[in-house]
Chain A
Amino acid sequence: MKKSKWSLLLTIVLVLSVFLSACSGGKKEEKANGGNGSSDGGGSKEKVLNLMETSEIPYLDNIMADDQVSLNLANNVYEGLYTLNDKDEPVLSGAAEEPEEKDGGKTWVFKLRDDAVWSNGDKVTANDYVFAWRKAVSKDTATQYSFIYQVAGILNADKILNPEDPMYNKTDKLGIKAIDDHTIEVKFAGPTSAKPYLKAVLSFPTFYPQPEKFVKEQGKQYALEADKALYNGPFALKKWEHEKGWVLEKNDKYWDKKNVKVDKINVNILKDEATRINLFETGKLDRTTISAEYVDQYKDKKDVFSTVPESSVFFLRMNQKNKALANKNIRHALDMGWDKKQLTDVLLNNGSVPAYFLVPSKFVNGPDGADFREKNGDLNKGDAKKAKEYWEKGLKELGVKKLDLTLLNYDTDTAQKDAQFIKNQLEKNLPGLSMKIKAQPFKQKLKLEENMDYDISYAGWGPDYPDPMTFIDMFVTGGSHNEMNYSNKKYDELVKKASSETDLKKRWDMMQQAEKILIDEDAAISPMYQRGYAFITKSNIKNIHNHSFGGDYSYKDWDVE
């Protein structure tokens, strides 16, 4: 009797170990995938990149893509009418030639390339565009990027996306029509000349075509696995192991494949920074971002280290529901009272630059070809002494000697250090101020901001389309992203006029004036920094450039020497 019970225990252990060996045995078979990078190319000279992402692909469906991983993937495995080149200018890709303008610029007729095909050999047709665009504005799709159709001003997009409009969800009313197999006609709600960024917007993955027949065949399975999607871009997704990584291979059906230099890209999901650096050091990874603590270790290694500015700007919101913060002098003091350069150079240390502005530098050029920042420069830049003057004036106007303010913050380690630094600086430079830091989980922080239940908050904004307006219209009175009770009639007026101004020079000036009012006059926000990233990259990888909008990279241009 007793023996049989012992044997039960033994059996359990045995079963477990069999299960165990079965599992590891299975893994053995699939290991030979040449993960050694460019070194194992040998005679065939296969060019291989070993890259990483920090998360699994949320969406392989380009229309659903709303995060950096998905957008970057879509930018490389699919293709739309335009694509961004290495200077971030839109160049023709799926469209064969620049559109023919009709109706005084309110209609564009595109001829499509007739050699563009899907990875199963089917031609990319005009209907594929019509299908995809209608899908993007449908309520059943409910993509978070549907608003980009409103940004582009496609006819009826705003009505189709408005649940209160009679035209709600009538996707066939969208301003796109297939004239024949290779011609599409796009209608806009207003003059296209008021939107100098329009062609760049059309390069966004939400505007890419989708093969209707295939998508319908796959139904709910569409784009859930590598073989459940068709590709018309420079690369095709070959293998996708969820949570582990994926493999891109040069798409040999791609019309411009002769200009694709890299044969294969292995992407691993690496969430831990030390791991990424260890893999880089052992040659298993070709490129990774690094954070401040590693920058000093690498910054003298010129052949691997680089920093790239990005177009996201971080700033302190000052909630004017708070009486003290409704005072202009107090706001000026809070903006000037801390050293922005020290924050970026010492704490962030990753290529971020101090911001005295809302519209980032190296983001877009105006009609004169000059950067937005060139004319507007640094706004509300001062020093501790000047800050103190403003501060004392403000306190006097408020009739108080002391102020208690709370800084609402992200709960990440780096944001905590940043906030601590700002608090120390402000308390030192502005006598009578005491500042508390309140770190909250991201979603909770958003909620507090939405309810305007905070004094000051550490916030950020990245562009949705390549135009200063994506930043500037955030602060119009009552705007859904204002969230700090800021209101200035002159500012509202300028934003409104600029939105419909067809004289691009005037439009540009108005936006610059608006930014000046926001920061120089009103000190509505205290800009902190324009984010940058520090990278280490294997020195044999060439032609890397990043986009300030849409997918981060075009691997088509990259090369391995």
Chain B
Amino acid sequence: MARFVLKRLLYMLVTLFIITSFTFFLMKLLPGSPFNNEEKLTDQQKFILNEKYGLNDPVPVQYFNYMSNLAKGDLGVSFQYDNRPVSTMITERIGPSAVLGIEATIIGTIIGLILGIAAALKHNTSIDYLSSLIAVLGISIPSFVFAGVLQYYVGVKLEWLPVALWDGPKYHVLPALSLSVFVIATVARFMRTEMLEVLGQDYITTAKSKGLSNLVVIWKHTIRNAMIPVVTILGPLAINLITGTLIIEKIFAVPGLGFQFVSSIQLNDYPVIMATTIFYSVCFIIVILIVDILYGVIDPRIRVAGGKG
């Protein structure tokens, strides 16, 4: 196991290096400068500004400088927010995004699993149809529609919960719910399909014929086996939510990371583009690693490196 993890970590560094380099050169292809009043700057001013930020250097030199700073753990400073280290910009904003993402993932997974399992066990009944309907709606209606409806009816009309802003637990409810809808739908759909497939397998018949109780069959043999694809999609899904979602954060005025990533690209804020990309990649790679480890935990048939030992 340790060898497996170590090997994966090494691959991870290589992957990161490739992603970073690729992003850097792609980013330099974007038109324009990172200065927000670009249309008003004179050539002299552009020269002075570029000089200050090292943008007059040839791109390979800029790349080398960036990579050597990165190796030292220096992510640079933002253009939009002068002198502000990019690393603190990310740490300041990741908190609300992560909390919201985790909440949505947990709510979504629990409800999704219940719906999916119920639908599969009560295959072709009204419960199944209702669950499928919810899944279809959840996937096809964008989350901002839910967000808008929740905000207006629960926040403005009923005044049960705050309309927006981020000042304590009750402010989390509406955005987390809006975000979780997609998770609920995805998890429910996958779980239902997988459960149905597993339930038709020979080993389930075997288990039943061995005289195991229904509960044991479902819990130990069905759900566990059906979890594999759910875990596979849940990882990336959770990372998407945890690293910030532009629209939900915008609607509920959550001070998260989602907006920053998008605006940094629009404004050519190079260090922020790089840092958020690296951050996102690291999270993603780690989650894939965790998912791989979890496979073995859930299904002993999948043993990542064990066989070779």
- Taking Cβ atoms with an 8 Å cutoff, the residues of A that contact B are 2, 5-6, 8-9, 16-17, 19-20, 23-24, 27-28, 30-31, 33, 35, 56, 58-59, 61, 64, 66-67, 139-140, 142, 144, 146-147, 161-163, 220, 224, 241-244, 268-272, 274-275, 278-279, 281-282, 284, 441-444, 446-447, 449, 464, 480-481
Contacts and interface: CB of A to CB of B under 8 A. Distances in A.
Nearest to B109: A13
Interface of B is mostly: helix
Interface string B252-278: 110110011000001010000000000
A268 B253 contact: yes
B234 interface: no
Nearest to A26: B95
A30 B165 CA distance: 14
Interface string B98-122: 1100110010000000000000000
A163 B48 CA distance: 8
Contacts of A281: 156
B60 interface: no
A259 to B, nearest CB: 31
B31 A144 contact: no
Contacts of B148: 274
B309 interface: no
Contacts of B256: 243
A401 B78 CA distance: 53
Contacts of B253: 244, 268-272, 275
A66 B37 contact: yes
18 contacts: A27-B169, A58-B81, A144-B36, A242-B89, A242-B92, A243-B92, A243-B256, A269-B255, A272-B164, A274-B152, A275-B253, A278-B163, A443-B30, A443-B33, A443-B266, A464-B40, A480-B42, A481-B40
Given A242-B92, A242-B93, A275 B251 contact: yes
B67 to A, nearest CB: 23
Given A241-B255, A243-B260, A5 B95 contact: no
B159 interface: yes
B76 interface: no
Interface in B163-184: 163-169, 172
Contacts of B268: 443
B49 interface: yes
B106 A442 contact: no
A243 B165 CA distance: 11
Contacts of A284: 163, 165
A282 B37 contact: no
A275 B252 contact: yes
A289 to B, nearest CB: 16
Given A27-B167, A278-B164, A139 B82 contact: no
Interface of B: 30-33, 35-45, 47-49, 51-52, 80-84, 89, 92-93, 95, 98-99, 102-103, 106, 148, 151-152, 155-156, 159, 163-169, 172, 250-253, 255-256, 259-260, 266, 268, 294, 296-298, 300
B92 A20 contact: no
Given A243-B93, A278-B155, A444-B32, A144 B163 contact: no
A6 B164 contact: no
A271 B246 CA distance: 11
Nearest to A52: B253
B265 to A, nearest CB: 10
Nearest to B40: A464
B250 A28 contact: no
B72 to A, nearest CB: 17
A290 to B, nearest CB: 16
A61 B92 contact: no
A435 B11 CA distance: 53
A443 B27 CA distance: 13
Contacts of B163: 275, 278-279, 282, 284
A270 B164 contact: yes
Contacts of B47: 163
Contacts of B155: 278, 282
A139 B251 contact: no
A67 B83 CA distance: 16
B99 A243 contact: no
Given A58-B81, A142-B52, A24 B169 contact: yes
Smallest CB-CB A-B distances: 3 pairs? A443-B32, A244-B255, A243-B255
A142 B165 contact: no
Contacts of A241: 255
A100 to B, nearest CB: 33
Contacts of B294: 9
Contacts of B106: 16-17, 20
Contact of B250 (A244, A272, A447, A480): A272
Contact of A59 (B31, B38, B41, B81): B81
A467 B152 CA distance: 45
Contacts of B81: 56, 58-59
Contacts of B300: 2
B209 to A, nearest CB: 22
B164 A61 contact: no
Contacts of A444: 31-32
Given A9-B294, A28-B169, A140-B52, A282 B159 contact: yes
Contacts of A272: 164, 250-251, 253
A162 B268 CA distance: 26
B2 to A, nearest CB: 15
A243 B36 contact: no
A58 B82 contact: yes
B106 to A, nearest CB: 7
Given A27-B168, A244-B166, A9 B297 contact: yes
B82 A147 contact: no
Given A139-B51, A442-B266, 16 more contacts: A16-B106, A20-B103, A23-B95, A28-B169, A31-B167, A31-B168, A144-B36, A224-B83, A271-B259, A274-B251, A279-B165, A282-B159, A284-B165, A443-B32, A443-B33, A447-B32
A147 B44 CA distance: 10
Q: Considering residues A6, A220, A244, which has the most beta carbons from chain B within 10 angstroms of its beta carbon?
A: A244
B48 A480 contact: no
Which residue of A30, A271, A481 has the most chain B CB atoms within 10 A of its CB atom? A271
Given A20-B103, A66-B37, A144 B167 contact: no
A480 B45 CA distance: 12
A8 B33 CA distance: 49
A27 B226 CA distance: 38
A140 B35 CA distance: 16
A442 B34 CA distance: 12
A278 B157 CA distance: 10
A40 B84 CA distance: 36
A244 B268 CA distance: 22
A284 B162 CA distance: 10
B93 A58 contact: no
A67 B80 CA distance: 10
Contacts of B33: 443
A282 B300 CA distance: 55
Contacts of B51: 139, 142, 163
A112 to B, nearest CB: 28
Contacts of A33: 167
B83 A443 contact: no
Nearest to B79: A58
B31 to A, nearest CB: 4
A509 to B, nearest CB: 27
A242 B151 contact: no
B45 to A, nearest CB: 6
A65 to B, nearest CB: 10
